[in-house]
Amino acid sequence: MSVDMPEANDLTVGIMALVAQAEREAISRRTKEALAVAKARGVKLGNPNGAQSLRRAGKGGVALRTAVTANAAAFAADLVPVLAEIRAAGHTSLRTIAVELTARGIRTRRGGSWSVGNVRQIVLRTRN
């Protein structure tokens, strides 16, 4: 039974389940057909740099994580003088630092806007 359909009996629920299953199968079929059409057009499906190649090489995600960590550390290191300047101007809370970075037109490493969380991570990375 259903709260929003209290008059539903076993027959009604069974029919609704069959309709839902038919819809699931139709969605699956349409998705497979669309992927086949895209593949026929020459679109390369999937992630070309997927984890499968890393697993075959026996490296897992270690190399990728190392590269990402190094890039993040380099980005944070580049911001050290800017953060020092912002703090020297009296902006010491994470929120005001985020506002100052945004006001200066500095984007996050991924090109986004600054938030308390982004600033916190940068501050943690730049502590010695």
pLDDT number for residue 67: 86
pLDDT in tens, 65-99: 888 889 999 999 999 999 999 999 999 999 999 99
Give φ, ψ of 2 to 5 degrees.
-130, 145
DSSP 8-state code for residue 128: -
At 4-63, the pLDDT tens digits run 778 888 898 899 999 999 999 999 999 999 999 999 999 888 777 766 666 776 666 677
| 116 token code pair | 């308390």
The reported pLDDT for the residue numbered 91 is: 94
